Every structure is written in C-alpha cells, then in structure tokens.
Chain A
Amino acid sequence: MEVNLNLGSNPGKDKPKMNPETTYDLIVLGGGPAGLNTALYAKRKGLQVGVIARDIGGQVMDTSSVENYLGFTSLSGEELMKKFVGHVNELEVPVLEYEELESVNVKDNSNIREVVLKNGQRFNTYSVVIATGSKPRKLGVPGEKEYSGKGVCYCAICDGPLFAGEEVIVAGGGNSAVEAAIDLAKISKKVTIVHRSQFRADQILIDQLSRLDNVEVKLQTQILEVEGDKFMTGVRVADRESGEEYIVEGAGLFVEIGYLPNSEMFSNLLSLNERNEIVVDRYGKTSVDGIYAAGDVTDTPYKQIIMSAGDGAKCALAVNDYLNTINK
C-alpha cells in the first residue's frame, strides 16, 4: 500500500493564489511539462506569471514508466512530474487548478489578452502561453463508443487492474501502445497488440515486448469493429495484406493510437492546421500577437516530454522579448 499525493499539494506554506485584479505579464494555460517549464523560465525572468490548469501533471501522469528523459534512466511519469512540480513550487508561482478554460480573447484591440474560464472567472494578461496538451485519439470504428466503459479503455494505468486474469487487446504501435502491452502482460492472461502498420515504438521497448510469452503481436492488421454483447468480447480485424477478416477475442481493448490536440476553444482565434494543432513559428508564436503555444497542442513534430519542456522554455523567453516591445 502506498500513497500518491497530488502534485499540487504544497503544504507547510500558503499557496500563492491567482488574483483576478492583477494584469499578469503571462498566463500559462496547462500544467504538463510544457506549461510548467514555461512558468519556471518566466518566473526566473522576473515576469508576473500564473498557471491555470485542469490538472497538474498532464498526460505524463498516465505513463507508467519514462525511460527517455535525459538524466533519469527510469522513473514513473508521476515521479518525473513530481520533480517538475517541486521545482516550480520552489519559485512560488500561483497555480489555479481544476479549472476548465472557456476562451482566450484579445481585449478591445489592446495589448491585453483575456483568459475566460468556464466558471465565469476572467483574468487579464499581456501574454498567454497555451500548453493545453492533447487527449487520447479514438479508433473511430463501429462499436467503440457503444463499448466505451464496457471494455474499451483509454487509460491502461487506470483500468488495467480491472482486467486481471483476462485476455485484452491493445490497439496501436507506438511507445504508448507497447508500454501499455508490457504493463498489461503482468496482470492479464494474454495481451494481443494489434496495429495497422509496423511498430513505431523504440526498439528497446519492442525487444522487451518480444521477451514476454503471453503477448501476441499482429501488425499490418486493421481493427474494423468492436464486437460484444453486454460487454465487448473482441474486435473484428482485417489482415491488410490478404484481406482476410477474423476475430481477436478480448474482454478489454486499450486504445493507444496517439493523441488529438486540446485546441477546440482556440479555433475562432488562432490558426490551426489540418490536424487541429495550433500553428506556431520557431519562437512558439501563434497567429495572434502576445499568444504563444507550447507542447502537444502545437504543430511541432514529435510529441515527447522533453520536447514539450523545451517548447515551454522557448515560449517563456520569446514572451519575455515580446513584453519588452509593447506598452504596458
């Protein structure tokens, strides 16, 4: 038995709070690696910065093991985030947590940007860094929605324990999918990993996977439909070479096929690309002055923790330069 205290818990001292009366230099939207590193760099530059986030930690929290962040051979996503948050907390950055964002607006053609929350609260700021990250992509096949919560899952670390001793399927071929399969193999009877093309995962993970004797790999295999009765019982798949269709049985389907950006609330204000990612230049600047974006929500290629953190640093520095050019 262990305890996993929330990352936001910062006891012993009063947590600094966001003040609606203040016009901030920078408001960071998002509490993952991109948002936190933005806050760190901005605070060190002396900017008046605040963070507004739905949850601190972001998607990294759902990652059971991180082995590619420089300086750390292997630790859980949660442990890595604890280190990030601890670092930011040292600098006493105000954080408003558990808040849903409504919109970001340009206020009356001025230099002031307004952040509006779903609960009606409004904050003024001279700049914004959007680091709202992404959410799991869905397969988009018949039966997926119907069996969501009845076998179809999007968080292996959360729902894996519910499938102890059962047969499960993992959809996807990237690092997240292979890691999920490795984790699930420890508790379930059998794991079948189904992917429509070849593995994109790191070789080191594929090697780990291939050493497990209760894992079956089906590449070049397309999932056509989730089937079941009251619960899902399996997926109908097609071999992409032969065209042959057959059923892979499983009580659970863990969908790990990538992510979609959390950008819908910015679609009226900012340029998005065809994947709905926020288009940024090499400074992280969006199509609107004073609004920058970092991490998974942007069109920057390769979504990685270290890249998101790097993006955050870049945006904070770019914001610092920008603030020197405007009238406050």
Chain B
Amino acid sequence: MKFLNEEVAKQLEGIFNGMKDDVTVALFTREEDCETCEDTKDFLTELTSAAPRLSLEILDLDKDSDKAEEFGVTMAPSLVLLDKDKTYQRIKFNGVPSGHEINSFISSVMEVSGNAQELPKEIMERIEKIQKPVNIKVFVTLACPHCPGAVEKAHKLALENPNIQADMIEAQTFYDMSEEYNVSSVPKIVINDEFEFVGNQPLEVFLDEIEKTQVA
C-alpha cells in the first residue's frame, strides 16, 4: 500500500461494503503531459481494491478517444463513474479525488451503486423541471474541507436529471483552466460557463442558478 494506511483502508472497506450494485471507475490518463496520471492510477488501484463491488478500467485519452468522446472527457487525469450496466452517469472527477475529495468520491460511488440519498419533495420537483442542458463545474482544492459538499450536490443533481452533467475540477492540477475561470476561492461553482457562485451552498442556491439557464 502506497497511499492508504491500514486503518484508512479498513475504514474504506467498511464504507464501500454499503454499495448495492457494482460500479466501474473509468479513468482516463495520458502518456505525455500529465504529471499526476501515474499517481492517480496507483491511488485508484489501491482504492478500488478495498471494494469488491468497485472496479477500475484504465483508458487512454488519445487511444480510447471514442470512449472519451462518449463520456465527454477532455482532460487527464479524469474519471467517470459507470453504473452496473456500464452506463455513463454524467458525473466526472477531473483530477485525483484524494485529500478531502475522497468524501465526494465515496458519496458519488454510493449514489451510482444504488444506495442513493432521498431528496426532499420540493427539491425533486425543481430538479425534474430542468429540461435544457446544464453543465456544472465545481472547482476544488484537495485541502478544502467544504469542497466535497459542493461536489456531492452537483453530482447528485446530475444523477437525478439526465439533462444535467457535473464535473469536479481540481484547481491545482488544472491550473490553466482555473485561471480561465478566475478561480481564487473554492469551492467555486460555474453553471453553463455563465452563472457562478462560491461556497458549499444549499441545493436551493444551486437550483436558483440553474433555473436562470432555463429561461427562453
């Protein structure tokens, strides 16, 4: 074990035992120009070995370009979660989900495995009304304790409505992109590259911003 000590590995095993169905982590790496790909690969190999229901599929951004396109993957390292039928669930982690992001990773794996959290009725009604495509980007740093909460919410929204897709973006790994999106506080949430806010805000705030993209 390179990244997880025995105690954490045991804890993770216990958590992942709560998975209902199998989940596949499809990890896209690239041979060149990717400082963190190797470590991400090793980290996820360790992580998935702690969970019998979790398997890892390693793909290459260039060689497996058809898959990358299918899942909308454009960067490396980037990982998507596939359900038991290997269906893309519209949620991505760009950058390694270590540090505090292990928690959003766990939460999203649980959701995709069928151990889903129930949302209040009023929230669900609002989510179901979203009909135009929505892209949510959540910029994080791995040292940020508030960030996984925002990633979990974005991913949950995507899981509940096929018109929504949600990406975690680790701001240090994808430095240029975070510059482009003017990220200087995390979590920073950008919706359809147009509306944005900072902080692990309640789902209502996510929906307030998302609904702005739905007007004709």
Residues of A that sit less than 8 Å from B by CB: 1-6, 9, 11-12, 55, 57, 61-62, 78, 98, 100, 118-120, 148-155, 157-164, 230-231, 251-252
Which chain A residues lie closer than 8 Å to B100 at the CB level? 4
> How distant is the Cα of A73 from the Cα of B186 in the complex, in angstroms?
30
**Contact status of A5 and B8, CB under 8 A, knowing A78-B145, A118-B202:** yes
Closest residue to B107 on the A side, CB-wise? A6
Q: Do B184 and A157 touch (CB < 8 A)?
A: no
Q: Give B111-168 interface residues, CB cut-off 8 Å to A.
A: 120, 122, 141, 143-149
* In-complex Cβ contact of A62 among B11, B13, B103, B145 (8 A): B145
B99/A158 in contact, CB under 8 A: no
Task: Please list 10 pairs of residues, one from A and one from B, whose beta carbons are closer than 8 Å in the complex, sorted by A's number.
Answer: A3-B4, A9-B106, A11-B14, A55-B146, A55-B149, A57-B145, A62-B145, A151-B184, A162-B141, A162-B185
- Residues on the A chain within 8 Å of B106, using CB: 6, 9
Consensus secondary structure, chain A interface: loop
Contacts of A12 in B (CB 8 A): 11, 14
How many residues of chain B have a CB within 8 Å of chain A? 41
Chain B nearest CB, measured from A135 CB (Å): 11
Inter-chain contacts of A162 with B (CB < 8 A): 141, 171-172, 178, 183-186
User: With the chains together, A6 CA to B171 CA distance in Å?
Assistant: 21
Chain A residue at minimum C-beta to C-beta distance from B196: A149
Interchain Cβ contacts within 8 Å, total number: 108
Complex contact B184–A11 (CB within 8 A): no
Knowing A3-B4, A11-B17 are in contact, say whether A153-B184 is a contact too (CB < 8 A): yes
Question: Does B39 interact with chain A (Cβ within 8 Å)?
Answer: yes
Residue from A6, A12, A252 having most chain B Cβ neighbours under 10 A: A6
Assess the A4–B141 pair: CB atoms within 8 A: no
CA distance A25 to B16 in the complex (A): 34
> What is the CB-to-nearest-CB distance from A168 to chain B, in angstroms, rounded to a whole number?
10
The reply to whether B4 and A252 form a contact with Cβ atoms under 8 Å apart is no
B195 within 8 A of A: no
Proximity string of chain B (165-192) to chain A, C-beta cutoff 8 Å, 1 when within and 0 when not: 0000001100000100011111010000
Quick check: A158 and B202 within 8 Å, CB to CB?
Answer: no
With A3-B98, A11-B15 as given contacts, are A159 and B43 in contact (CB-CB < 8 Å)? no
CB of B50 to closest CB in A, whole Å: 11
